[in-house]
Structure 1
Amino acid sequence: CSSDPKSNKPKVSIVCITFNHGSFISKAMDGFVSQKTNFTFEAIIADDCSDDNSRSIITKYAKKYPNIIKPILRKKNIGSLPNYVNALSRAKGQYLAICDGDDYWTDEFKLQKQVDFLDNNPDFSMCCHPFRQTYIDNSVQDKIITPWDFVSEDVKRRGYLTIKDIFPVNPIGSLTVMYRWSLKNKNLDWMKDYQIGDLVLHLLHADKGKIGVIDEVMAVYQRHVNGVWFGNESKEKQRSFAVEYANLLTDLDHELELKYTDVITPCKGRPLKILFIAMENSIHSYQWIQAVLKANHHIVQLYSSYRIPEKPTLFNSLDKIKVYSLLRDSSNRSTNNNLDAKKVYLKFLFELVLHPVHTMRLMRNGTFGHGAYVRTSKFKTILVYLKTVLKILLRPKQTTIQIKNNSFGPRDGLDFGSIESVDKQESLEAVIKEFQPDIIHTLHTQTSGYMLMNLRKNWLEKFPIWVHSVWGSDIYLWERISGQKEILIEFLSYVDYFISEGKRDQILVKNLGYKGKFIEPMPATGGFDIEKIKSLKLLKPSLRKEIAVKGYDHGVGRFRNAISGIVRAKDVLQDYTINVFSLEMSTELLSVYAFDSGLKIKVIPYGSYEDIINMFCRSKIYIGCSFSDGTPASFLEALAYGAFPIQTNTADTDAWVVDGKTAILIPPDDPVAVERAIRRVIADDELVDTAAGINFQTIKMNANNKQWVKTIQKIYYSIGYTV
């Protein structure tokens, strides 16, 4: 019997997608309804709004064979893969067979033979068979194609295939396969981005068992002008396929939990050569580059544009990356490389007096770091540097000075001396010419992007593809600084691809005249391990008795406003511990606030990432105050671990929270607003707990580490592959 009307669950589901297959669909359905079996089966025919006679033919067969033909007649065209994925979701059978509307089966016992094989071999997850390939126009002679044509002699002698035999060439025709259908309850929406749906199903099932081969030709694959793969010989189609295939393999590699990376990765195509120009010990740079390196075969190098002196080195010998580092610790400097502080200082001071863009500060180990990003008077600039030079003169051996030409925008002819801590365009030029990267990716505008722009505008040869990422205040703040807008306009004219943390900066660079391409915004942070967070036994947010406060007060930081607001609300915070996390905050300063207010205030110094995360897990509230920011990592960490965010409205957070519901957004210079927000959150436990649930779902959807890594990996294939 071919079907049983009393049975609600067929043994086999056949999925057939069709579009404008009026000349072929009858033959395909004849192959279905002619099957002789001792079990029930269904044929799901999904027509993607054909404008020929396909629909009428399908309707006719459905009326004649209502127990077999299950039509899906779409009212609008949704595309081949969305149509396919939706049809798969309708499959109810224990086993699944595939046959497109322009192919057909030739053996009326095909389903029975394959079901018998899988029933009798429980360690096999799928089986297939040879097929005949024919060209409708007879331009090419028919050919029998068998899986054994694509594997080694050892595999042939073994007598079955495994997942590793599917590479580098897929040996299994979709019209021949039967799966032990295991994806009934799995979300396959990610497949909609690709045209190669059969490979996805092959791999996801081959992961669960062996692949059997029945050595009988039981189907015909027809090639014709309306077929998806007919005429795919043009360079553009080849390039499109190469990009799609590489990105599909990236998705599949992660779906299979990276178990077959050694087999999958070489099949992605030519490895790309990528040069990063970035702050070498920035956690954002590190996480991004690690994502590129993970489960990939790209050749990656890092040219260090800046090194944050107080932060530890992140890259080590285990990382598959060559790092060009321009800064050594002062303790390792040789006498010959000591900087003539007076000479450099006088040059630097003279430049600042002429162009006082922003002040600088002497950091704790003696290096210069960015100060307030505001225009200053010449008099104030001179006072700052008179104070600084005294420190240099008093302890010259312990002082290293890191001066960046690009801190003031590009200016030709400004030379601070030839030491490793000074940017040297000629060394970057040498690296590019020797490495010959396919892609150069600058991470951060002022420290990395400007450096490359200075080189790019005088470059006479073909330049690599330039990808640029903006973080924090790169655009939002700097376009408002006198003299910087013009520099940004020139800079953006050279960038090919632009990545930002949110939509805000895309709008800003459009207004600055950017004509290149945008990559979908994504947070600079590495995303979050959702399953790990779920496994944590976190205290209900409303029951927590700690508050996390971002302790940055130089430049754009507004910690003093945050702590002032906290002190104003001290009467409701007596039972709370205030944790200030910062690279720069001194215990001595906070002890004054603690003494005056009677609050318990602690400094969480820069340490391991786990220390910071543990703090967020214990926090009821997170407070982040700054004059300008992108999408702060600490803000996202608060969302992930249940701390209610009180965040200044100068950050790019619109896509993440709803003001007053899942966060409270405040102006940067208003301690009273901080106080009011604290009092409201402390008094409303329902607000805190409800927000925590919503915010975690937002993180799960938009900052899942696994998805973040996949997205980053696919960026480079999409823009770097040429044929």
Structure 2
Amino acid sequence: MKILMVSIFAPHFFNWTEQLEDSGHEIYWLDVFDSGAEVDQISFVHQITGWRYRWNYPGRYFIKKNFTWLNRFLNIFNERKLQNILEKKIEEIKPDAVHSFVMYLGTAPILDVMKKHPNLKWIYSSWGSDLYYYRHLKDFHKDMQQTFPYIDYMFADCKRDHVIAQENGFKGEFLGVFPGGGGFDLQGLEPFMLDADKRDVLLIKGYQGKHGKSIEVLKAIEELQLKLKNYKIIIFGADKETKEHVESSKINEWPNLKCYGKIERNEVLRLMGRSRIYIGNSTSDGLPNTLLEAIVMGAFPIQSNPGGATAEIIKDGMNGMLIQNPTNSSEIKEILESILNGDADIDKGVKYNFEYLRTALDREKVKERVLEKYRIVEKNIN
């Protein structure tokens, strides 16, 4: 089967697509915003890049950075449209299916092209906040409602998004819930994992931004200094807002606290493997990849629950704790304090995650299920 992927340049997409290597399918990728770079991780894929600009004239980056109005004007003549390139590639490649990722970036924008090819199977994958957040924005919601009736198949990272899709016109076949970036190499992660009695890290995801609420977590720990004295508190992925909060608050003086900006994924996994407790907090997400990383690495998760997505795998108080109001630092403080007081059996929760969740996240098992779903699509091609 020839599959034309339409996606932004993103690690989630590369990890997902890597599952299709040696699958027998012929894979093409149209880079939605045209980063101009080919990706070694998916070297087996025919990568369509370098399509966006007619002329890469001298000084283009300088003008783009310093003269926004001029850049917009020049792009009227210099920038090719994604829809035109997609139409051209469909005619050239003659794919059996188009698989688009993320509604508002890679899916709704190609609706008019896909309408012209009603016999071409259309697969869609939702990630994170793709549907949950953007359905509240009028224009995006309208795009969603116009696009879903034409989609034949759907992958999601949580059941919640399938419900949202159905509420907005999706009548195709739901192919199931899968980690957005595929599974994990569990055997390869073993060297990064410490035994429970050697774990001393409280790990906090430091993203604030549009959806993140890391600052509420930091406010929650401010009054728990004595109870956290035996923990190494590590904040990772801290953005500017989070760093500024740390620097201006009393936790900045804590000798057992460190704050890091963006770090490599392998380093995140190493930190998870040292962590006793992990906290992730946001107002909008699917099943966060960092939550799954905490589960496979043996950290006890405290995670926000937008739209009930986290509750699909976390039983509150048993194999993790759910933050129901991510903007309420008092609630987060109470949850963490209850764990520090021993109200939740961390070891029992981690054991449950290992027995019932971790094994299902094995990369080869996930890959096998994913390829089975693509075979369903292949069988239904006219």
Normalised TM-score (structure 1): 0.48
Q: Are residues 1:277 and 2:14 paired?
A: no
Query: Measured at CA, do residues 314 and 554 of structure 1 come closer, stay the same or move farther in structure 2, by a change above 3 Å?
Result: farther
Matched, 1:654 2:311: yes
Distance apart, 1:609 and its partner CA? 2.0
Shift in CA distance, 577/593, structure 1 to aligned 2, threshold 3 Å: farther
Indicate the residue corresponding to 2:151 in structure 1. Answer: 495
- Distance in 2, matches of 1:324 and 1:583, equals 33
1:317 and 1:572 map into 2 onto residues whose CA distance is 44
Unaligned runs of 5+ in 1: 1-271, 342-365, 367-391, 404-413
1:288 to 13, 16, 21: 16
Asked whether the equivalents of residues 7 and 102 of structure 2 are also in contact (C-alpha less than 8 Å), the reply is: yes
Aligned match for 1:557, one of 212, 223, 246: 212
Q: Which of 556, 559, 578 pairs up with 2:233?
A: 578
Q: What is the alpha-carbon root mean square deviation over aligned residues?
A: 3.2
Q: Which amino acid aligns with 2:29?
A: L
Which among 60, 76, 85 is matched to residue 417 of structure 1?
76
1:551/1:582 contact within 8 Å kept: yes
Asked whether the 8 Å contact 1:635–1:647 carries over to 2, the reply is yes
Q: Are 2:342 and 1:684 aligned? A: yes
Aligned residue among 195, 200, 203 for 1:545: 200
Deviations 1:450-488 (A, max 9, x none): 22114224x2x4442100000101111111223332221
Kindly state the Cα deviation for residue 502 of structure 1 after the two structures are TM-superposed: 1.8
Q: CA deviation at 1:685?
A: 8.5
Whether 1:714 and 2:379 are equivalent positions in the alignment is: no
Cα separation, partners in 2 of 1:416 and 1:547, compared to 1, 3 Å: farther
Which amino acid in the other structure matches residue 273 of structure 1?
K
Distance 1:317 1:288, change over 3 A: closer
Q: CA deviation at 1:432?
A: 1.6
CA distance in 2, matches of 1:605, 1:451: 33
Q: Distance in 2 between matches of 1:286 and 1:583?
A: 24
Rounded to whole Å, the distance in 1 between the matches of 2:42 and 2:99 is 22
CA distance in 2, matches of 1:600, 1:400: 50
Instruction: Give the counterpart letter for 2:200 in structure 1.
Output: K
What CA deviation, in whole Å up to 9, does each residue of 1:32-64 have, x standing for no partner? xxxxxxxxxxxxxxxxxxxxxxxxxxxxxxxxx
Do 1:542 and 1:620's aligned partners in 2 also have CA atoms closer than 8 Å? no
- Matched pairs, number: 376
| 1:338 Cα deviation from its structure 2 partner | 4.8
Residue 26 of structure 2: which of 299, 310, 313 is its match? 299
CA distance, structure 2, for counterparts of residue 337 and residue 690 of structure 1: 58
Once residues 100 and 201 of structure 2 are traced to their aligned partners in structure 1, the CA distance between those partners, rounded to angstroms, is: 38
Which whole-Å CA distance do the structure 2 matches of 1:567 and 1:308 have between them? 42
Aligned to 1:325: 49
* Cα distance between partner residues in 2 of 1:450 and 1:415: 26
Shift of 1:691: 0.8
Task: Give the 3-state SS of the residue equivalent to 2:207 in structure 1.
Answer: coil
Question: What secondary structure does 1:717 align onto?
Answer: helix
Give the AA of the match of 1:297. G
Aligned partners of 1:453 and 1:431: how far apart in 2?
15
Aligned equivalents of 2:162, 2:82: Cα separation in 1 = 30
Alignment partners' CA distance in 2, 1:600 and 1:589: 17
* Displacement after TM superposition at 1:699 (Å): 2.6
Larger relative contact order, structure 1 or 2 (CA cutoff 8 Å, min sep 6)? 2
Give yes or no for contact 1:656–1:698 (8 Å, CA) kept in 2.
no
| Contact residue 319 and residue 352 of structure 2 kept, 8 A | yes
C-alpha spacing 1:536/1:498, structure 2 compared with 1 (3 Å): same
Alignment of 1:20-35 (within 5 A): none
Residues 587 and 509 of structure 1: is their aligned pair in 2 closer, same or farther, counting only changes over 3 Å? Answer: closer
Q: Which residue, 315, 335, 352 being the options, matches 2:58?
A: 335
Which residue number in structure 2 is paired with residue 79 of structure 1?
none
Question: Aligned runs of 1:131-280 on 2, under 5 Å?
Answer: 272-280=1-9
For structure 2, the residue ranges without an aligned partner over 5 or more in a row are none
Match of 2:297 in 1: 641
Offset of residue 601 of structure 1 = 3.1
Cα distance, 1:514 vs structure 2: 1.5
Per-residue deviation, 1:580? 1.9
Does the alignment pair 1:696 with 2:354?
yes
Q: Is the 8 Å Cα contact of residues 222 and 251 (structure 2) preserved in structure 1?
A: no
Q: Work out whether residues 444 and 470 of structure 1, in 8 Å CA contact, stay in contact via their aligned partners in 2.
A: yes
Q: Displacement of 1:589 after TM fit? A: 4.9
Q: Which has the higher helix share?
A: 2
CA contact (8 A) 1:550 1:625 kept: yes
Give the conservation status (yes or no) of the 8 Å contact 1:472–1:628: yes
Q: Is the partner of 2:171 in helix, strand or coil? A: coil
1:567–1:597 CA contact under 8 A, matched in 2: no
> Which residue identity is paired with 2:18?
Q
The answer to whether the aligner puts 1:664 opposite 2:321 as a matched pair is yes
Instruction: Confirm or deny: 8 A CA contact 1:502 1:522 kept in the other structure.
Output: yes
CA distance in 1 between partners of 2:176 and 2:154 (Å): 9
- CA drift at 1:590: 3.1
Q: In 2 relative to 1, CA 544–506 (structure 1 residues): closer, same or farther, beyond 3 Å? A: same
- Is the alpha carbon distance of 1:572 and 1:326 closer, same or farther for their aligned partners in structure 2, counting shifts above 3 Å? farther
> Greater Rg, structure 1 or structure 2?
1
1:612 matched residue in structure 2: 268
Shift of 1:537: 7.2
Counterpart Cα distance in 1 of 2:300 and 2:46: 41
* Contact 1:476 1:628 (C-alpha < 8 Å) held by counterparts: yes
Question: Aligned-pair distance for 1:634?
Answer: 0.2
Q: Hey, what's the Cα distance between the residues in 2 that align with 1:307 and 1:317? A: 17
Find the aligned partners of 2:5 and 2:270 in 1 and give their Cα distance.
31
Q: 2:184 maps to what in 1?
A: 528
Aligned-pair CA distance for 1:704: 1.6
Deviation (angstroms), 1:524:
0.9
Query: Are the counterparts in 2 of residues 581 and 606 from structure 1 also a CA contact under 8 Å?
Result: yes
Contact 2:338 2:344 in 1 (8 A): no
CA contact (8 A) 1:570 1:597 kept: no
